[in-house]
Amino acid sequence: MVSKTLVKIASRVAAVIVGVALLAAAAGFVLLRGPPCLDAADGAAARLRAPWRRGCRWVTQENNTWSSHRGRFRCSFDFLMPPGTAIYPARAGRVVMVERHQPNRPGFFRANVVVVEHADQTRATYAHLIGPSIGVDVGDVVTSTSPIGQSGMSGRTIYPHLHFQVTTADGAPLPARFVGVPEGRPRFLERVCAEDSSE
């Protein structure tokens, strides 16, 4: 009798878990999948490397989605990754902004951020970094082999990820295209891989 009751309870719990997972997936597709950023020059835009060295990372939020990737953040991507993942520039350039507000605290605090300006004056922003891990300063010249810091979960986030976006020098959002991704624009729950895709 006891085992039958346990089986009943277990199957109900399993049904609830499956239901919640399906609802979360549906909500994710509605809230976290949006139209990709495009502009007239999109076809000519340089392809970016994955801003990490090894393995593949899931896109957990794409362009024009939810409340955070809107307005001047509308061309952003979020990449799920373990805290402490070394971040490298997606393109070579010069560091133009470093913000170390705090160690690595999630919540309504300011995120730790590095901004790199490229030769064509476009800029890439790397956010939610671990503050003390940031090893570059404004003025430093960085290439795809110069680690700039480690990903974490500082600022407005509830899970560890890298927030990445490309803008003009004035902060206007620009489309970003990655090497190895069809069309260049990764979608929600698509993976972007480093050249060395082994983990």
Least distance in angstroms from the C-beta of 141 to Zn ion: 26
Q: How far apart are CA 51 and CA 178, in angstroms?
A: 10
Structure tokens at 149: 């810091």
Nearer to Zn ion, 18 or 30 (CB): 30
Least distance in angstroms from the C-beta of 67 to Zn ion: 11
Structure tokens at 83: 């805290």
78 near Zn ion, judged by CB under 5 A? yes
Nearer to Zn ion, 16 or 172 (CB): 172
Residue written as token pair 């020059």: 41
Chain positions 151 to 180 lying near Zn ion, rule: CB under 5 A, are 163
Among the listed ranges 13-21, 41-49, 71-79, 189-197, the one in contact with Zn ion (CB under 5 A) is 71-79
Position closest to Zn ion via CB: 163
Least distance in angstroms from the C-beta of 69 to Zn ion: 6
Least distance in angstroms from the C-beta of 128 to Zn ion: 8
Note whether 58 and 80 are within 8 A (CB). Answer: yes
Nearer to Zn ion, 57 or 163 (CB): 163
CA atoms within 13 A of residue 171's CA, in its CB half-sphere: 4
Strands (E), 62-190: 77-80, 86-87, 93-99, 112-117, 123-129, 141-142, 149-150, 161-167, 173-174, 177-178
Nearer to Zn ion, 76 or 167 (CB): 76
With residue 60 as reference, give the H or E element that holds it.
strand 56-61
62 near Zn ion, judged by CB under 5 A? no
Q: What are phi and psi of 160, to 5 degrees?
A: -75, 125
Least distance in angstroms from the C-beta of 68 to Zn ion: 5
Of these, 36, 48, 52, 76, which contacts Zn ion (CB under 5 A)? 76
Residues that bind Zn ion (CB under 5 A): 76, 78, 163
